[in-house]
Structure 1
């Protein structure tokens, strides 16, 4: 089961999907389906009675129920692709993880996860660089950079979000296990992120590297986690302030420029317009939102028809309203606050918070990123066995079985 979990993580770094009668399907979707079938079959055959946090499962099902209610009230149940995607995130993934939890080798969970993330990031970087060398890249009308993969446009920000996970995994192995090759990989991921101009992901990568330095210096991870949560709340509040019309003069200027259809409005500056539009629409349906997958900016020029407000808070508020936002917030906070005594929990929290920070100026939970986030979220929500990072003998440095990595003595 461990290999299916790691394969889910690795295939999440393939940022393309294919059309099917049931909507778009990605490689990670296929692996998750195999994972959940094998996990449930194994649990039934071996009669594994796994301890499951029913509150987490209840919150997950409640979030999915809110999505269905929002789609029904807005008469957009025909958007089957949206329902399938969130059913995979909130039903299949937690079912697979909870059913297989006792079958997983959890004594080295952080190492396994970090290696899978580093491998997936390496694979993605190689693909991106090869495509750029082949000329398979382009700039859209708004100046956004895309990589062409299998005749599909992959936005630079989607690649940057995925590489944020890879930077964390490689940095964890480099600092905790003193593996220099992963230090080089971490810098390589950061360089590629910077090269494709994924600015928000680059900033998050810098913050993640700072976190690792703080952790290495011996500060308490719980305090750093608390600071991170407060920082996310401050950023979210600032984003809402921007979207409520405080910068009316800037909004008016950007609107005029867009109506003239000039090139002065870029993908970055246009976010203010998208945020304001999403906030106004949220006020029209504040309880259950306007439905998932229905956002479309109304304006002139290239910005007309833009999907999603490129802010995770406003994206959820627009689509699911206050009910949907509270359901997701409760589920994520419940996961972040559980099982924080094990060292692997530090890595899981770091990965989740890094992605959430980056999503404040990006689209949240698209395929690939969503598979990674929710897999980590539900892994964090179940008990993780303790293991010592020190040898009982002060002069000995134990080596991990089947690995040349040596845990860092702290």
Structure 2
């Protein structure tokens, strides 16, 4: 099944023409409405009339996450505030989140690309989709929700967690599709076995999983546990949220909805554009976005692009699963975590040193984060109550900054290994 036959099977030259027209329009809008971009383009001697086709994309400057931080909260918006109908945010490297905005048309575009994504997974208006992504500032829950409603499916907006209720509604309501992080899907599968629920009571046929890295081995495990076909969905808040790209039944990569999101692969060190098939950093230009049209946004995700037509009949460019990142960001239970966030908390406290380690594991298919923190000599006492109070204070401050739960372990001064080079801040044992 294909949701939008014309766009998803469009001839390559016709797609390039469409992209060029939308790029021209976007450059004119940001030049006229976003001082940050106007100054940036002027610095490079570029005026809107200079951009007449998709071939001119590489002349335009990149946008980074730091640019969003520097323009917090709304200075990159290209429309007046009264046209912004939705605000979402994701965690950044400091206490301030990365803010994204949507016009009504942006919401409609988002719903459209998620409807395309769900259709790739075989979802129809006859299905009941249980959305177990988090609702709120995180884009996962509402993104899948609106797309499923646009498709015409029945939506159970249960959000994340509350596993017993998840299993109850899955049985009572006859959910046929589950949408959540892959680690939570595996956890639900194990819970079904642990509760000895009759598999005949579970009607699931497909799962839409994203927001965190996962392996092919985990895909097989989820499919076995839940008796479904597991599909990978990709997105990021800065571009639109979930629905930037999606796997089809052929599962030969994720199709990018490039009528809205023009992809590039670059050398992360030099910015040089790399050809199809080469590994590099993924860059997106969301040419149809109205509220926050970012120019050549550097995702920091490392992957490859492929342009050959897919067995499913779609001609949309495909991206492989991301194999890592060109920065130090971790994705833990769907939340972006930077080591520098932890460092900023510790530097505000007198009792701790700026030496720490983040240890990430996967226990029972759920990510865990332990933060080992060095305590200054004068505060490392034999009084258990004092250390416990300090531990709780650090835990509270870190959880307020990261937005997720973590374990804090206090360690003795100088016990974390020092390095003459780059300090090893992260030990990730998940084998992703």
Give the alignment's TM-score, normalised by structure 2. 0.24
Give the alignment's TM-score, normalised by structure 1. 0.25
Which structure is higher in helix share?
A: 1
Structure having greater relative contact order (Cα 8 Å, sep ≥ 6): 1
